[in-house]
Amino acid sequence: MNFFEHQRAAKGTTLKLVLLFGAAVLALVAAINAAAVIALVYLTKDYGGIDASSILAVVIVVTAITLLVIAGGTLFKTISLRQGGTAVAAAVGAVPVDPTTTDPQLRRYVNIVEEMSLASGVPAPRLFVMPGEPGINAFAAGFTPADAAIAVTGGALAQLNRDELQGVIAHEFSHILNGDMRLNIRLIGLLSGILLIGMIGLRLLQFGGRGSDSKRALPLVAFAFAMMVLGYVGVFFANVIKAAVARQREWLADASAVQFTRQTDGLEGALKKIGGIPTGSRLRNSRNAAEVSHMLFGEGARRSFTSLFATHPPLTDRIRALNPSFDPREIAELQQRYANQAPDGLAEDVAAGFAPAGTALGRPTLAPEQPANPGWHTSPEQVVSRAGTFTSDDLKYGAALHARIPDDVRKLASQPTTAPAAVIALLLEPSSGGLHVRQLASVNEHLGPTQAREAAALADRMRALPPELRLPVVALALPQIATHSRAEQDALITVLNALAVADEKVTMFEYCLTRLVSNYVLDTNDPARRSKVGSGSLTGVRPVVTTLLATLAVAGGADQNVAAQSLDIALQRLYGDNARPENPRRLSWQQTLDEGWAALDALDPRAKQALVEAMVEAVLHDGTVTAAEAELLRAACGLMHVPLPALLG
């Protein structure tokens, strides 16, 4: 199942869940109505009983109130999590990690995540740690990759070696790339709405019996008791549904982690350590841990007496799926070993040669030369099959790219205070001309003199970066830009657009940078709305598709005939043998694309897959791939929320 099929499947799973929860809510409403009618009949039996019209009125009122309570509880919880991954991480008491940290455990964590980000084509997620948790666990949360957060326990950082931590992070990246995070947040909201019924019943039970007329209070107490019981019964079945969905997604994430890293030792070792250490994967101190149980890498609490509530497959089953020769007695041996001394992940890294003794950063030794490209000599279908995933070659490529980014540049991009200036500096012209002065005046006008001075100081350093490192640096800077206020983000976007058009022409890199930053800001400020799977068709977007494919065809610098042939072939792939290019040039190519990105993003997953294949066809047809082509292809995929691995080498 590829990325686009995952999107369609996730949409279908969401619909099934809505129907299941809808059925549970209807059953709950019916049961509460029955309890209310019984209580009412009991209260009125001494006064001649109650007529059918009154019963109907009670049913209507109770139904309306119950639905409002459930909807209100769901809406309140969903709104509280509207900011995505950061809100979920904060809810369990996780603290943010500074991407420029020099702490050996945290540095290793940051390196692994940033390498996977560059390998997969998604912005680096924001990182959190649960420092008071000695168990080994982690989770990914958010609506889109742009607002994603990854949190790990302090126990995972301390006790896992680099391969094992990489396996756990790869598992969490699978949840990001497969669209599981949005589903997980929806589950939290739905459960909160149903739970609220039980909580209200409990409150009514506590206070409803107070009064002098115990006979009249009895039916009210019985009704409150019924509400409480029915509410918690509803939660029971909702948790069963949640657990079943979670177990399925965990199997998929384990398989994806192996696909990403092309080795099972890391993930298998992490699972074995969970079985071996006394604390396992349990969360002891985190607030609201039960709410995120279905998001976690391992069970967050002691395994339930029944497998119906288990949000994860049995640990031994997960290990055996990775290694069929696994003997469960190994867990008992590890328990004896770790009872005396907990595992030390950094020490294991040093022994394995990942880092020299004394530094223990857990960073693999990489050749300083430019990494080989992992995949342009292939077909469009093969390239598109890598969307929303990555291979071990991509991971090596991402690690090599990460290693090639100079430490000072990576630090500039990884700090909230300097990230905007670093991105601005990528668009500044050389300081020797008058254009540079006008650009700095624009920065000063919108962001102030401090940002103007900092950007000017970084201009030569940032412009010296090789072309294949520019967008990766932007990808590292995006999460830091997201920490600024919306007003500051809007001002930055205004400045970037002004710098791009300052010389009255827009290069491919300038266009890609400005649109990626703008799109990321939109995603982070409204992740719930921006993460919906579309249903549009290619028929209504043909003019903008023609412009996009034409722009890709000419970006390689080939002669006009070759570019026209590339466009024809790409259009034929989408619209058939009789396809002819439409002339969309009522506006510039930039303006046409800007008006069309929302419609392209709203395409049905199958249509989106076909479009990306046509885009790759337009790029590959002439047999070469330029920096401009690679940047526009990856940016276009990013604007359509299709993560594509780094392909420029």
Helices (H), 143-213: 154-159, 162-177, 180-207
- The pLDDT, as a whole number, for residue 56 is 86
3-state secondary structure at position 149: strand
What is the span of the domain harbouring residue 606?
533-640
Strands 126-130 and 138-141: unpaired
- Write out pLDDT tens, residues 4-19: 665 566 556 656 766 7
Number of domains in the chain: 3
- At 358 the pLDDT is 41
Residue 80 has pLDDT above 70, yes or no: no
Mark whether 429 and 566 lie in a shared domain: no
Supply the pLDDT for residue 210: 54
Indicate which residues carry an active-site annotation: 172
Q: Are residues 616 and 486 in the same domain?
A: no
pLDDT for the residue 371: 46
Same domain, 441 and 541: no
**Residues 182-186, mean pLDDT to the nearest whole number:** 67
pLDDT value for 370: 45
Give kind and range of the element (H or E) at residue 613: helix 605-620
Phi, psi (5° rounding) for residue 128? -135, 160
Average pLDDT score over residue span 351-379: 52
Q: Is the pLDDT of residue 562 over 70?
A: yes
Residues paired with residue 129 on neighbouring β-strands, in sequence order = 95, 152
Backbone φ and ψ for 531, nearest 5 degrees, come out as -105, 10
Place of tokens 């649960």: 130
Mean pLDDT (whole number) for 335-341: 91
Check residues 109 and 648 and name the one with the higher pLDDT. 109
Q: Would you say residue 525 lies in a domain?
A: no
| 549 and 588 both lie in a single domain | yes
On whether residue 474 sits in a domain, the answer given is yes
Rounded Cα–Cα distance for residues 649 and 626 (Å):
10
Whether 203 has a pLDDT exceeding 80, the answer reads: no
Whether 471 is covered by a domain: the verdict is: yes
What pLDDT was estimated at residue 378? 64
**pLDDT > 80? residue 336:** yes
pLDDT digits (tens, 9 = 90+) for 429-473: 887 678 888 999 999 999 999 999 999 999 989 988 998 888 889
Give mean pLDDT, residues 370-395.
66
Distance CA 508, CA 497 (A): 13
Q: At what angle do helices 180-207 and 162-177 cross, to 10 degrees?
A: 80
Helix (H) or strand (E) holding 151, with range, is strand 149-153
Lowest average pLDDT, out of 18-22, 70-74, 519-523, goes to 18-22
Per-residue pLDDT tens digits for 216-232? 666 677 777 777 777 77
Same domain, 166 and 272: yes
Beta pairing, strands 95-96 & 126-130 = antiparallel
Lowest pLDDT segment from 75-79, 116-120, 167-171, 177-181: 177-181
Looking at residue 324, which CATH number applies to its domain?
3.30.2010.10
- The rounded mean pLDDT for the chain is 81
Domain end call among 292, 311, 331: 331
Q: How far is CA 201 from the centre of its chain?
A: 36
Considering 487, 517, 547, which residue would you say is the last residue of a domain?
517
The per-residue pLDDT for range 566-596, each reduced to its tens digit, is: 888 888 888 886 665 555 455 688 888 898 9
The pLDDT value recorded for residue 231 is 73
Nearest C-alpha neighbor of 173 from the set 118, 133, 134: 118
Q: Which of 54-68, 246-260, 469-483 has the lowest mean pLDDT?
A: 246-260
| Lowest mean pLDDT segment, chosen from 84-93, 302-311, 347-356, 595-604 | 302-311
